């Protein structure tokens, strides 16, 4: 069957499944619709959280970034899982005990200040919009490939689908839809990985295959996969896969930013507000990480094996021989050329695809000797996971399954973020502050308009994104890390931090981080307006993606000094903090209406 | 739910042995536990995975070294163990100090 039709069937079937479940669950229990998660077992809640959490960045983009860089991009793996430790130990149980529905509500109450609540709303919007830009990048890649159109058209179609999906809305609240989305995306990620791991190492578990012997087609090579990969990439002038090349300070700060950001992102935190008990909030974080780890333990294997397969495809007679002819290129290259995300330029005019590191000075002599005039293939990192089953020549249904999985990951998170943005604009900003007497209809209208504005902005910026999907998302994490996490943590672990300290801390954290990012990525992410580049950053070796950790430290320090220079917190706030620290007496979560 | 009742019984036995204490000591034990967990959290990710990787370079694991494994997979497994350990320990502490949800 034609691949295009097969893709349509798989994507269509999974969408029908989500909508079917949403309708079934809605009909079953309308009253529980808004209280998704309450009365739901921690394991189920964990699975739904994992679906909410793993977006285009984790599914489509991350393994590609690891594949082309190797060890240095391990930060994504540690950062996006390590944050759950912070979440489970420092935030989740206490926010559950507090028993409100949104993050700005907690910050507004704990710091007894509507201003603090407004600043929190602002932080939330800035971080979420940046996050959506990254999602749109991923959505564009997925749609362009699966509808066989160029990347910009794919992005516009994707934006329309995301908008419809988010407005259809309530669907997001149904935990079981998310459970289905999780099942689709994890199957879609794992099945091709198992096939490829079997092909390359004979080990059916990709995570173990990564550390197994390289034995393509069952022939033992006497080398481990990683050893073989290091040799092959070195022969093409690339930096070795397993060694540490990146700046250590930057790598530590980047990992830390992703971790703190994970614990500061509102759409994840919200899930812990609604579990039945404080004890369950602790278990839920663990279960969420179990389901996330299933993908994250596989991702490094997907990356390494895809890198191996790409080089093997291009140099089908080994890297010391000449690469394949352009005319004889495999179908997956033709397919991805349509999207414009994979490009070939015959620089030395020999009709063959030379793919090597033309930035390496040490390799330049060898390249010249072989008659190579520059690397002729450019591969967008974000296509790797989606192209992976095609590269490994897996059956058509696996390719279609991966397309469905990528869309599930991108759409669920994008829709969730849009809902988070719209509810904070309509509920926290308009109803809570600007126009308290707004009618329910007006509130809904505001929500829709803000959603449309957010997606328009994200689509426009997604056309020229500040980086690959996972890198843009990393910026969003930096912003959340610098603004929201410190305020939440100090709100729970200190009784001394007062309203002025919290507002000053959040403002400094957000502004300094935002300015640092804009200086490197362009003002409001508009290309060409940047003063510095991440290759040569303003401060030491700290790239804009890593600055969130510095912003968080500034936030903590500012809040500490301002609070100690101003009056103590009132007694009732001290009592509130004391009560949040103790699980006993936690009622059901209640919205502040 | 069945799991929970079984666990409640286990914890009740524990709380009889310990007796109930005040909220202050409950919070202090929590902070102590959090600190130790975070030390392990940082040691396995930032430590073994990045900064201390050269120290572990002698230990080989499937074509790479132990530090590479920690950075790509090991730290994730440690994070999982930490969260479950903390949840189990804290839920027990809640009961020992009589601050669990009835």
User: CB–CB of B71 and A282 under 8 A?
Assistant: no
C-alpha dihedral (A224, A228, A229, A232), degrees to nearest 10: 180
Q: Is A566 helix (H, G, I), strand (E, B) or coil?
A: coil
Work out the end-to-end distance of chain A between its first and last CA atoms, rounded to an integer number of angstroms.
54
pTM, two decimals, is: 0.86
User: Could you tell me the pLDDT band of residue B11, with boundaries at 50, 70 and 90?
Assistant: very low
Tens of each residue's pLDDT in chain A, 593 residues = 688 888 888 888 888 887 777 667 654 443 343 444 456 677 888 888 888 888 878 888 888 888 888 898 899 999 999 999 999 999 988 888 887 777 888 898 889 888 898 899 889 888 888 888 888 888 888 888 777 778 888 888 888 887 877 776 544 455 777 788 888 889 889 999 998 888 888 889 998 888 888 888 777 778 888 888 888 888 888 888 888 888 888 899 999 999 999 888 887 887 777 677 888 888 888 999 999 999 999 999 999 998 888 888 888 877 778 888 888 888 888 888 877 788 888 888 888 888 888 887 888 888 888 888 888 888 888 888 888 888 888 888 888 888 888 888 887 788 777 877 877 787 777 777 777 777 777 777 777 788 888 888 888 888 877 777 777 888 889 999 999 999 999 999 988 888 899 999 999 999 999 899 888 887 877 777 777 777 777 777 888 888 999 999 999 999 999 998 988 888 888 888 888 888 877 665 554 43
* Region label for A380, one of left (φ > 0), alpha (ψ between -120 and 50) or beta (otherwise): beta
Q: Is A329 helix (H, G, I), strand (E, B) or coil?
A: coil
Residue of A401, A340, A330 lying closest to A154 (CA atoms): A340
Q: What is the pLDDT of residue A456?
A: 87
Q: Does A224 touch chain B (CB under 8 A)?
A: yes
- Residue A205 corresponds to which tokens in the numbers above? 């578990």
Q: Does A583 touch chain B (CB under 8 A)?
A: yes
Residue of A391, A370, A330 lying closest to A236 (CA atoms): A370
User: CB–CB of A211 and B86 under 8 A?
Assistant: no
The ipTM is 0.87
User: CB–CB of A71 and B71 under 8 A?
Assistant: yes
Sequence ranges of the domains in chain A: 3-306+392-510+548-580, 317-378
User: CB–CB of A77 and B76 under 8 A?
Assistant: yes
In the CATH hierarchy, which fold is given to the domain comprising A3-306+392-510+548-580? Sodium/glucose cotransporter (1.20.1730)
Each residue's pLDDT tens digit, A432-460? 777 777 777 777 777 778 888 888 888 88
User: CB–CB of B71 and A78 under 8 A?
Assistant: yes
* Chain B positions in Cβ-Cβ contact with residue A259 (cut-off 8 Å): 45
Give dist(CA A561, CA B43) in Å, integer: 29
Each residue's pLDDT tens digit, B14-45? 444 444 446 788 888 899 999 999 999 999 99
User: CB–CB of B73 and A586 under 8 A?
Assistant: no
Q: What is the pLDDT of residue B20?
A: 43
Each residue's pLDDT tens digit, B31-84? 999 999 999 999 999 989 888 888 888 888 888 888 899 999 999 999 999 999
Residue of A375, A483, A394, A457 lying closest to A162 (CA atoms): A457
User: CB–CB of B102 and A584 under 8 A?
Assistant: yes
Structural Rg of chain B based on CA atoms: 18
* Chain A positions in Cβ-Cβ contact with residue B30 (cut-off 8 Å): 581
Sequence ranges of the domains in chain B: 2-96
Give dist(CA A127, CA A265) in Å, integer: 8
Within 10 A of A364 (CB to CB), how many other CB atoms are there? 14
CB A59 within 8 A of CB A233: no
CB nearest to A78's CB, from B61, B75, B84: B75
User: CB–CB of B45 and A225 under 8 A?
Assistant: no
Residue of A nearest to B34 (CA): A89
CB nearest to A300's CB, from B41, B72, B91: B72
Reported as type and span, the H/E element at residue B91 is helix B75-96
* Chain B positions in Cβ-Cβ contact with residue A297 (cut-off 8 Å): 73, 76-77
Name the maximum alpha-carbon separation found in chain B. Answer: 53
Alpha helices in A54-102 (DSSP H): 56, 62-69, 74-86, 92-98
Please tell me the distance in Å from B12's CA to the nearest CA on chain A.
Answer: 15
Cα separation values, A5 from A12, A375, A435, Å: 10, 35, 50
Q: What is the pLDDT of residue A350?
A: 83
User: CB–CB of B100 and A583 under 8 A?
Assistant: yes
Q: Does A585 touch chain B (CB under 8 A)?
A: yes
Give dist(CA A269, CA A239) in Å, integer: 39
Residue A294, classified by CB atoms within 10 Å of its CB into exposed (0-12), middle (13-18) or buried (19+), is middle
């Amino acid at each position: 069957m034609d691949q295009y039709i097969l893709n349509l069937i798989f994507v269509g079937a999974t969408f029908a499944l989500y909508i079917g479940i949403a309708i079934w669950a809605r009909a079953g229990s309308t009253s529980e619709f808004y209280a998704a998660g309450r009365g739901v077992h921690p394991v189920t809640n964990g699975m739904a959280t994992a679906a909410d959490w793993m977006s285009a960045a984790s599914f489509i983009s991350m393994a590609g970034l690891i594949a082309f860089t190797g060890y240095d991009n391990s930060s994504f793996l540690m950062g996006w899982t390590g944050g759950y430790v912070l979440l489970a130990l420092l935030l989740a149980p206490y926010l559950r005990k507090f028993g409100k529905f949104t993050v700005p509500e907690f910050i507004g109450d704990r710091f007894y200040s509507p201003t603090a609540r407004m600043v929190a709303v602002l932080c939330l919007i800035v971080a979420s919009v940046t996050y959506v830009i990254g999602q749109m990048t991923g959505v564009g890649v997925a749609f362009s490939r699966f509808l066989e159109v160029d990347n910009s058209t794919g992005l516009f179609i994707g934006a329309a689908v995301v908008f419809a999906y988010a407005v259809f809305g309530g669907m997001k609240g149904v935990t079981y839809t998310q459970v289905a989305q999780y099942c689709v995306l994890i199957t879609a990620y794992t099945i091709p990985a198992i096939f490829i791991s079997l092909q390359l190492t004979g080990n059916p578990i990709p995570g173990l295959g990564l550390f197994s012997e390289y034995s393509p087609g069952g022939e033992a090579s006497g080398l481990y996969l990683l050893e073989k990969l290091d040799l092959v990439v070195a022969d093409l002038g690339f930096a070795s896969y397993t060694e540490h090349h990146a700046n250590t300070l930057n790598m530590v700060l980047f990992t830390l930013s992703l971790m703190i950001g994970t614990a500061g992102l509102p759409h994840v935190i919200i899930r812990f507000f609604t579990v039945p008990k404080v004890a369950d909030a602790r278990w839920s974080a663990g279960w969420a990480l179990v389901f996330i780890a299933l993908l994250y333990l596989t991702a490094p294997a997907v990356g390494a094996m895809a890198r191996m397969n790409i080089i093997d495809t291009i140099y089908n007679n080994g890297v010391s021989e000449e690469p394949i002819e352009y005319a004889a290129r495999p179908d997956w290259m033709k397919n991805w050329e349509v999207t414009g995300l994979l490009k070939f330029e015959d620089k030395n005019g020999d009709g063959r695809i030379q793919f090597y590191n033309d930035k390496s000075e040490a390799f330049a002599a060898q390249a010249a000797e072989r008659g190579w005039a520059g690397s002729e293939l450019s591969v967008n990192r974000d296509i790797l996971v989606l192209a992976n089953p095609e590269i490994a020549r897996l059956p058509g249904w696996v390719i279609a399954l991966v397309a469905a999985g990528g869309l599930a990951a991108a759409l669920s998170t994008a829709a969730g973020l849009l809902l988070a943005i719209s509810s904070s604009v309509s509920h926290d900003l308009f109803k809570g502050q600007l126009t308290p007497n707004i009618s329910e209809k007006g509130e809904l209208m505001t929500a829709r308009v803000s959603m449309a504005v957010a997606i328009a902005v994200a689509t426009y910026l997604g056309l020229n994104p500040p980086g690959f999907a996972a890198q843009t998302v990393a910026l969003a994490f930096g912003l959340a890390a610098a603004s929201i996490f410190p305020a939440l943590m100090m709100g729970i672990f200190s009784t001394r931090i007062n309203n002025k300290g919290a507002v000053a801390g959040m403002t400094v954290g957000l502004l300094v981080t935002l300015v640092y990012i804009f200086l490197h990525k362009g003002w409001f992410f508009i290309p060409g307006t940047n003063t510095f580049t991440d290759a040569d950053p303003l401060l030491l070796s700290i790239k804009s993606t890593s600055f969130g950790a510095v912003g968080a430290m500034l936030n903590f320090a500012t809040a500490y000094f301002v609070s100690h220079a101003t009056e103590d917190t009132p007694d009732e706030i001290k009592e509130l903090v004391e009560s949040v620290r103790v699980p006993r007496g936690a009622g059901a979560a209640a919205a502040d209406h | 739910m069945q799991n929970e009742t079984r666990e409640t019984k286990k914890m009740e036995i524990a709380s009889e042995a310990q007796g109930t204490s005040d909220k202050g000591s409950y919070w202090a034990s929590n902070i102590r536990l959090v600190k130790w967990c975070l030390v392990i959290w940082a040691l396995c990710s930032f430590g073994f995975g990045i900064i201390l990787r050269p120290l572990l370079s002698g230990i080989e694991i499937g074509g790479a070294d132990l530090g590479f494994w920690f950075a790509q997979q090991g730290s994730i497994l440690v994070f999982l163990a930490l969260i479950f350990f903390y949840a189990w320990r804290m839920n027990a502490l809640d009961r020992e100090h009589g601050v669990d949800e009835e």
